[in-house]
Amino acid sequence: MQSNTLTIDSMRNEILKNTGDAEALEKLYNSNKKAFRAAFYEVFPEIGNTETARVWKARLEYESGTDILKTFPLSELLIVIAVCLIPAFLIKIPAIFPSLVSEDIFLQRNISLIVFLGLAVYTMWRNNVTDLNKIILTGVAFLIPAVYINLLPGGDPGDSIILAFIHLPVLMLYLFGFIFANYDYRNTEIRIEFIRHAAELVIVFGLIAIAGGILTAITINLFSSIGLDIENIYTEYIVATGAAAAPVFASWLLEKYPNMVSRIAPVIAGIFSPLVLLTLIIFLLTFVISGKDPYNDRDFLIIFNVMLLGVMAIIIFSVSETSVIRKQKFNAAVLFALSIFTIVIDLIALSAIFYRLGEYGMTPNRLAVLVSNILVLGNLILIMTDLFRINFRSGQFSKVETTVARYLPVYLIWVLIVTFGFPLFFGMK
């Protein structure tokens, strides 16, 4: 049994199978503490009458409530701080070497590289990656886009270059997922686990950002009350470096306190999906009544497509989180309806894009939006088909997860084409 690759679904089955085997449960827990915690709380209603389950519940709850500074050795905290300092330092290169590059140009090109480099270093340490080939592969995978993106023409970049800047963070997200999966890109279960992890990471980062914002306001006002204006210095150094390092800290918190978010994220997904569905219905009705014209209104079409991508992200997030809750029927029905309405919006957007292509010709932006919408439409149709089977046949939710996971390489191919191919194909225009 490859315990180190067990995800929540696999872990759930292993816990049920080994409920009476204390040694096996201990091995499962040490193999993937995050997945074990999440899976244990799911199956606890079924095994809660056993002494082993009650002992484990008490143990997990105690560990979750233990003071963080007493739970982990100083050496581990120092390593995490050291990793946090990597993106914190890199983000301030323009301030340290102002003659080399302007801050705006530097951040536009490198911010995603810096943030995901920190996450990659932390993940490699967490996974105990010591294989020299993997380390070199990771270094090259970051070095190539870093050199490429900084060699692109500056000044007034064309649309194809701006598209490369926009798609680079997505490419870095894929690279982070590759490292998260311990370089096992073929494992669909790990892909699903990564989607779930990325969503939870965003939630924890959001909480850190809110807390940081409150701390920033308090600090600036406290010093202001004694006549010291520290807003510019504090924002430029503390806020900027803290924001760059926060994803690493969030990842560490998730690793050490997996059930901190694992039980909240499905609730968020369950709340957001119906709200987004209601919003889409109201939007489509208002769209018809208002007479808005996406065919000739470029700004409205851009908003239309941004909304489409946002809803698609919510569907993928909701699919990954709904699969870990027990009552899935309502969520499956909502997601099925949401996928249908999103397909309608995608078809409207596609018709407008084809119209604009016929009227105004091909541009990098129109081609990028056209292919992106086609890829999203294909993914939505597959997801809708699986959700239809769940709602009206005897389909399993795991099939939707598998569909989402298997479609991820399709997006990756397109991201690579836009990032590396568009500037060359369109002559940097």
Q: Under 8 Å CB-to-CB from 368, ≥6 apart: which residues?
A: 163, 418, 422
Residue in this structure with the two tokens 């806020």, named with its chain if needed: 239
DSSP 21: -
The answer, yes or no, to whether residue 164 has pLDDT greater than 90, is yes
Residues 79 and 217 in one domain: yes
Residues 18 and 47 in one domain: yes
Residues 161 and 250 in one domain: yes
pLDDT at residue 121 in the model: 95
Final residue of a domain: which of 191, 220, 255?
Answer: 255
Residues 335 and 235 in one domain: no
pLDDT at residue 71 in the model: 56
Q: Which segments of 291-396 does DSSP mark as H helices, in order?
A: 298-322, 329-360, 364-392
* Other CB atoms within 10 Å distance of the CB of residue 152: 16
What six digits make up the tokens of 251?
């990842």
What six digits make up the tokens of 358?
């016929």
Residue in this structure with the two tokens 């899935």, named with its chain if needed: 328
Residues 241 and 386 in one domain: no
Do 322 and 274 form a contact (C-beta atoms < 8 A)?
Answer: no
Residues 189 and 89 in one domain: yes
* Angstrom distances, CA of residue 64 to CA of 135, 250, 263, 393: 33, 16, 13, 40
The answer, yes or no, to whether residue 391 has pLDDT greater than 50, is yes
Phi, psi at 346, each rounded to 5°: -65, -40
Residues 99 and 166 in one domain: yes
> What distance in Å separates the CA atoms of residue 293 and residue 291, rounded to the nearest whole number?
6
**Total count of domains within the chain:** 3
Residue 409 resides in a domain: no
Among residues 232, 208, 173, 98, the alpha carbon closest in space to that of 411 is found at: 173
Tens digit of pLDDT for each residue in 196-235? 888 889 888 988 999 999 999 999 998 888 888 888 888 8
81: confidence class by pLDDT, cuts 50, 70, 90: very high
* Other CB atoms within 10 Å distance of the CB of residue 131: 11
> What distance in Å separates the CA atoms of residue 194 and residue 188, rounded to the nearest whole number?
10
Angle at alpha carbon of residue 193, lines to 402 and 74, rounded to 5°: 170
Residue 53 resides in a domain: yes
pLDDT at residue 259 in the model: 64
4: confidence class by pLDDT, cuts 50, 70, 90: very low
Mean pLDDT computed over 51-71: 65
pLDDT at residue 199 in the model: 84
Final residue of a domain: which of 220, 236, 255?
Answer: 255
pLDDT at residue 1 in the model: 36
Residues 120 and 240 in one domain: yes
Residue 384 resides in a domain: yes
* Other CB atoms within 10 Å distance of the CB of residue 12: 20
pLDDT at residue 262 in the model: 64
Residues 167 and 276 in one domain: no
Percent share of the chain, pLDDT over 70? 90
Range of the domain at 137: 74-255
> What distance in Å separates the CA atoms of residue 202 and residue 143, rounded to the nearest whole number?
25
Highest mean pLDDT among 39-43, 135-139, 183-187, 225-229: 135-139
The residue that leads in pLDDT, 35 or 119, is 119
The residue that leads in pLDDT, 63 or 304, is 304
Chain-wide mean pLDDT for the chain? 83
> What distance in Å separates the CA atoms of residue 308 and residue 313, rounded to the nearest whole number?
9
Q: Which segments of 66-187 does DSSP mark as H helices, in order?
A: 68-71, 74-90, 93-96, 103-126, 132-151, 159-180
72: confidence class by pLDDT, cuts 50, 70, 90: low
Tens digit of pLDDT for each residue in 176-195? 999 998 888 888 888 888 88
307: confidence class by pLDDT, cuts 50, 70, 90: confident
Final residue of a domain: which of 236, 255, 274?
Answer: 255
2: confidence class by pLDDT, cuts 50, 70, 90: very low
Residues 103 and 235 in one domain: yes
328: confidence class by pLDDT, cuts 50, 70, 90: low
138: confidence class by pLDDT, cuts 50, 70, 90: very high
Grouping H, G, I as helix, E, B as strand and the rest as coil, residue 297 is coil
Do 418 and 368 form a contact (C-beta atoms < 8 A)?
Answer: yes
Residue 215 resides in a domain: yes
Residue 178 resides in a domain: yes
Residues 124 and 251 in one domain: yes
The answer, yes or no, to whether residue 352 has pLDDT greater than 80, is yes
Mean pLDDT computed over 236-253: 90
The answer, yes or no, to whether residue 5 has pLDDT greater than 60, is no
322: confidence class by pLDDT, cuts 50, 70, 90: low
Residue 411 resides in a domain: no
Tens digit of pLDDT for each residue in 86-110? 999 999 988 888 777 788 888 889 9
Residues 85 and 182 in one domain: yes
Mean pLDDT computed over 122-139: 91
Residue 80 resides in a domain: yes
- Can you say whether residue 362 is alpha, beta or left, with left for phi > 0 and alpha for psi between -120 and 50 degrees? beta
Residue 83 resides in a domain: yes
pLDDT at residue 412 in the model: 94
